[in-house]
DNA sequence: CTTCATATGTGAAAATATTCACATAATTTT
DNA sequence: AAAATTATGTGAATATTTTCACATATGAAG
């Protein structure tokens, strides 16, 4: 069955709530209380979960830890995902400095650039590899996701290289539409789209 | 009439294509050629635009420059939007170093933090202000959009301050759901959601 | 001038996504 | 032990979004 993309995105949000609730010692919650935390409808939560199975108990709700683990399984997070960052400039370095990856269950196992000034140097404890070594390192390290923080002009070219190396998921920060083969998932984090949409919703300037 | 949020987001993408096409000297395009650039349907492009008016010519298509300007008007970009960055840590600094804001038609007019180590110091040519001065500076500078790059624990508190200062749009990088008054638009750029969704779409690990 | 090709704008239809509402079951109260 | 309360899971209903399909207009070719 085809799962709506929005459902998958909400599962990530549910996971985060469950993670914090479990840390706070909560052991049970209802679809209503989860929905309230995220300003959603309870039916939405139940429907989303129902695509994947029956995780709750009538009259009781869901076991926090159990549901968290079920969602981790659905999202493929149990074993930890391996990530590469390509393009070690401003943004690439900010991401590298980000302590949150491990908490998220992701591990940055390799970093790449094409600049002779950067290849071989250490950034946040990791040696920057030559982008041309990418296909070999992907195979060796079993990398799951490539994060692209390269200039816009290079993004398509790098996306092609990445796709041809067998990577099935790309997180792209460059403001460009990437053409990739079917079967490769691309998420775009696009500052321009966000700012311009906000500009619209903030209303016309008086 | 209520405009779908997805339509607004696509308008930003159309704008970017039109911007590049105009730079390349193109003066006319069809809904089909615009759609092809973004892997969309031509009817989608036309429907999106039709919410706001009639910008094309039958048998001819759209004038690139004219359509670009119309979309700028729709999105409220003509005059330039003023932006503040709150939280001058790793991510805030990466954003500050980002040259793209001006090209996008956005101007970072003030930056804020609450750390005595940062207040008063210069970052990328801008003096970091005390967050407690935010309401006054918003009014003085007529800031439109607040970008939040504060730690997750502070995000809700800062969002409240920002909303109470009359800001109508927030771009939030903290992995937290922000409760804000009606009429305030929030966009979340959420690395965790993107990575976890990609993890799902990349398939279960074998 | 007429015909042909092109491409918009938009109601209608189809596809998707959300919400309702209720049968069902577990738990708590009396 | 019965009644009342709570809350799931899910078909059906509703709402939203996308796509179709065509009347209509424009420009080019003959
Ligand atoms: N800096 C930001 O805050 C920010 C915000 C939003 C979006 N972005 C986008 O993110 C991307 C990167 O931005 P940045 O400011 O970090 O740029 P940057 O110029 O600082 O860094 C880009 C890095 O990519 C490397 N690179 C170039 N071509 C490459 C290739 N073919 N293979 C491997 N590496 C290559 C460069 O050597 C450089 O180190 C851009 O597309 C930008 O528009 C940046
Ligand atoms: N660094 C990244 O690459 C990255 C990636 C994705 C998401 N994020 C998220 O972005 C946020 C910021 O990340 P970071 O790595 O830049 O953190 P950071 O700790 O480097 O910076 C946070 C800054 O916010 C300031 N701050 C704290 N409370 C404040 C308040 N009440 N008012 C004003 N300023 C305040 C701190 O003094 C600090 O300078 C976090 O929520 C993080 O999860 C960061």
pLDDT band with cut points at 50, 70 and 90 for residue A46: very high
Q: Which of A99-103, A140-144, B152-156 has the lowest mean pLDDT?
A: A99-103
pLDDT band with cut points at 50, 70 and 90 for residue A205: low
> Which chain C positions come under 7 Å from a protein C-beta?
5-11, 16-21, 24-27
Smallest CA–CA distance, residue B25 to chain A, in Å, is: 18
Q: Give the per-residue pLDDT at B126.
A: 97
> Virtual CA dihedral for B117, B149, B126, B79, nearest 10 degrees?
-160
Nearest CB neighbour to B201, from listed A95, A104, A185: A185
The distance (Å) linking the CA of A40 with the C1' of C22 is: 21
d(CA B160, CA B146): 12
Using DSSP's 3-state secondary structure scheme, residue B122 falls into: strand
- The topology under which CATH files domain A5-74 is Arc Repressor Mutant, subunit A (1.10.10)
d(CA A47, CA A53): 10
Asked if A167 and B196 count as a contact pair (C-beta separation under 8 A), the reply is no
Q: Which of A56-65, A122-131, B54-63, B91-100 has the lowest mean pLDDT?
A: B91-100
User: CA angle A194-B185-B42, nearest 5°?
Assistant: 50
Of ligand 2's listed atoms, the one at least distance from the Cα of B87 is 24
Among chain B residues, the shortest Cα distance to A76 is held by B204
Asked if B179's CB is within 8 angstroms of A13's CB, the reply is no
Find the A52 Cα to ligand 2 centroid distance in Å: 35
Give, using CA atoms, the residue closest to atom 33 of ligand 1.
A113
Q: Is the CB of A50 under 7 A from strand C?
A: no
Pairing of strands B145-148, B126-130: unpaired
Give, using CA atoms, the residue closest to atom 40 of ligand 1.
A151
Those residues whose C-beta lies under 8 Å from the C-beta of residue B8, and which sit 6 or more positions away, are: A197, A200, A201, B75
d(CA A78, CA B143): 43
Residue A123 burial (CB count, 10 A):
16
Among chain B residues, the shortest Cα distance to A88 is held by B94
> What superfamily does domain B80-193 belong to in CATH?
NAD(P)-binding Rossmann-like Domain (3.40.50.720)
User: Residue A113: is its pLDDT beyond 90?
Assistant: yes
Nearest CB neighbour to A39, from listed B171, B177, B198: B177
Find the B152 Cα to ligand 2 centroid distance in Å: 7
Asked if B148 and B158 count as a contact pair (C-beta separation under 8 A), the reply is yes
Q: Which ligand is nearest to the CA of B146?
A: 2
Query: What are the domain boundaries of chain B?
Result: 5-74, 80-193
* The residue to which tokens 């492009």 are assigned: B45
User: Residue A204: is its pLDDT beyond 70?
Assistant: no
Q: Is the CB of B197 under 7 A from strand C?
A: no
User: Residue A38: is its pLDDT beyond 60?
Assistant: yes
Of ligand 1's listed atoms, the one at least distance from the Cα of B95 is 3
Find the B171 Cα to ligand 1 centroid distance in Å: 21
E runs forming strands in chain A: 28-29, 56-57, 61-63, 81-86, 106-113, 122-123, 126-130, 145-148, 169-172, 185-188
d(CA B198, CA A104): 13
* The residue to which tokens 């690395």 are assigned: B191
Among chain B residues, the shortest Cα distance to A189 is held by B189
Asked if A126 and A110 count as a contact pair (C-beta separation under 8 A), the reply is yes
Q: Give the per-residue pLDDT at B1.
A: 80
Find the A13 Cα to ligand 2 centroid distance in Å: 20
A111 in contact with ligand 1, CB cutoff 6 A: no
Q: Give the per-residue pLDDT at B2.
A: 86
User: Counting Cβ atoms within 10 Å, is residue A79 exposed (0-12), middle (13-18) or buried (19+)?
Assistant: exposed
Mean pLDDT of A26-44: 97
Asked if B131 and B114 count as a contact pair (C-beta separation under 8 A), the reply is yes
Nearest CB neighbour to A196, from listed B77, B177, B191: B77
Q: Which of B84, B85, B88, B89 is the pocket-test mutation for ligand 2 (most atoms within 8 Å of CB)?
A: B89
Backbone φ, ψ for residue B133 (5° rounding)? -85, 0
d(CA B156, CA B184): 14
User: Residue A206: is its pLDDT beyond 60?
Assistant: no
Q: Using the CB atoms, write b or e for A13-39: b if 16+ within 10 Å.
A: bbbbbbbebbeeeeebbbbebbbebee
Q: Which ligand is nearest to the CA of A92?
A: 1
Q: How many residues does chain A have?
A: 206
From first to last of its 206 residues, chain B has per-residue pLDDT tens of: 889 999 999 999 999 999 999 999 999 999 999 999 999 999 999 999 999 999 999 999 999 999 999 999 999 998 889 999 999 999 999 999 998 888 888 999 999 999 999 999 999 999 999 999 999 999 999 999 999 999 999 999 999 999 999 999 999 999 999 999 999 999 999 999 999 999 999 886 55
Q: Residue B127 CA to chain centroid, in angstroms?
A: 23
């Amino acid at each position: 069955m085809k799962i709506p993309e929005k459902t998958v995105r909400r599962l990530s949000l549910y996971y985060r709530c469950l993670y914090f609730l479990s840390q706070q010692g909560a052991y049970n919650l209802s679809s209503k209380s989860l929905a309230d935390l995220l300003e959603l409808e309870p039916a939405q939560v139940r429907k989303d979960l129902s695509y994947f199975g029956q995780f709750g108990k009538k009259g009781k709700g869901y076991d926090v830890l159990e549901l968290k683990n079920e969602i981790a399984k659905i999202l493929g997070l149990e074993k930890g995902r391996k990530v590469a960052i390509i393009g070690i400039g401003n943004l690439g370095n900010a991401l590298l400095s980000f302590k949150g990856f491990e908490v998220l269950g992701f591990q940055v196992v390799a970093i790449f650039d094409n600049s002779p000034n950067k290849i071989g140097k250490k950034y946040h404890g990791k040696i920057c590899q030559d982008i041309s070594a990418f296909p070999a390192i992907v195979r060796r390290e079993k990398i799951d996701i490539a994060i692209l923080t390269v200039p816009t002009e290079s993004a398509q070219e790098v996306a092609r290289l990445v796709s041809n190396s067998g990577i099935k998921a790309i997180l792209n920060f460059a403001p460009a539409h990437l053409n990739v083969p079917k079967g490769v998932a691309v998420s775009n984090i696009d500052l321009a789209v966000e700012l311009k949409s906000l500009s619209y919703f903030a209303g016309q300037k008086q």
